[in-house]
Amino acid sequence: MATDKELSDFLKSVEKRAFKRTAFAVRDDDAALDIVQDAMIRLAEKYIDRPAAELPLLFQRILSNATMDWFRRQKVRNALVHNFSDFEGGDEDGDFDLLETLDTVESSIGTESAADSVSRDQILLLIDTEVAQLPARQREAFLLRYWEELDVAETASVMGCSEGSVKTHCSRAVHALAKALKAKGIAP
Amino acid sequence: MNNNTPLIHSTDVDALQARFGMRVASLLGEQAQQAPSDISERLRVAREQAVERGRMARRQTRLATASAPIVLGRGGAASLAERPGWWVKLASAMPLAMLVCGLLVIDHLHEQAQIKATADVDAALLSDDLPPTAYSDPGFAEYLKATAQQ
């Protein structure tokens, strides 16, 4: 059973990421705060008897469900379905060089030399904007996998899809981000 | 695909994607940490509220756990009461049954006593020299009254 301190420390460690992830999804800071608060309370009330090690995955599931509940309440599911259909289409980047882009962008944001043309804050803001523009499922998969550091199986569990879908979403998200960042000049 | 690009294994692509994803996520984390103070404050309040709710939930769980033996005790007592229920009911019915039996016996004895008394009277009348019809005679009745006054 998680202690008060363990619960508090855990929530403190994830609250800002949770808020940001939810804000990306609902595009409304107030709604995102409400959803995060709701998820925190649900976790505390219903899963306080679980070991502290189980809290991260439980919280991500609860947060995802709470976000979906919000969408249902807002009756904007059609918009979501529209977003989901975004990655049903074919790959438009047939001539896109993954290795080159990943290498250049990764090295660009991995070093302070990127600040030669754009300040670090601007880069952060740019990344924030590009992540926000990803299709919902791609963004969710990307954030769960690389930000929340869940493995593929855990991400699939939270998202309610197959592991193959998670890999596809993540791959497309990475491609889209790399291409967008490169187009914005974040390259050596 | 660019023809100059060397062939790469899919695991290498996965590794590159993972590196890129982690790096972007790391920068995204920096951005998230720079959340406005009002949002940070609301998150802090939400966290404290959640911890308080968790504390209350834990307390309720403990109370439920602590009261479980009492409930079991009650259940046990109830089950103990239920198991000899027949005996308890029988024992509680015994005094009533004994009372009824006693009343029946008393009634029977009383009836027997009445029958015996009547039989004695009848026997006395029948065995007496005086015939029973004499008692319906007005003259004999007057004789008896006079004898009793003397």
Per the CB < 8 A criterion, the answer to whether A110 and B23 are in contact is yes
The confidence score (pLDDT) of residue B1 equals 43
Q: Which of residues 28-87 of A touch B (CB under 8 A)?
A: 29, 33, 36-37, 40-41, 43-46, 48-49
The gap from C-alpha A181 to its chain's centroid, in whole angstroms, comes to 17
The alpha-carbon gap from A15 to the nearest alpha carbon of chain B, in Å, equals 7
Give B 13-52 residues with CB within 8 A of chain A: 13, 16-25, 27-35, 39-40, 42-43, 46-51
Domain boundaries, given as residue ranges, for chain B: 11-66, 89-150
Residue among A46, A80, A60, A70 nearest A14 (CA): A60
Who contacts B13 (Cβ-Cβ below 8 Å, separation ≥6)?
Answer: A98, A99
Residues of B in contact with A98 (CB under 8 A): 13, 16
**Cα A113 to chain center, whole Å?**
26
Joined tokens for residue B10: 């899919």
Q: What is the ipTM of this complex?
A: 0.71
- At B129-146, the pLDDT tens digits run 878 788 888 888 888 888
Instruction: Supply the pTM of this predicted model.
Output: 0.59
Q: Cα(first)–Cα(last) distance of chain A, in Å?
A: 50
From chain B, the residues in CB contact with A174 under 8 A are 17, 20-21
C-alpha closest to that of A26 among A106, A136, A126: A136
Query: Mind listing the pLDDT tens digit for each residue in A29-77?
Result: 899 999 999 999 999 888 888 888 888 889 999 999 998 888 888 765 5
Question: CA of A77 to nearest chain B CA: how many angstroms apart?
Answer: 27
Answer yes or no: are the C-beta atoms of A58 and A47 closer than 8 Å: yes
3-state class (DSSP) for residue A53: helix
With H, G, I as helix, E, B as strand and everything else as coil, classify residue A48.
coil
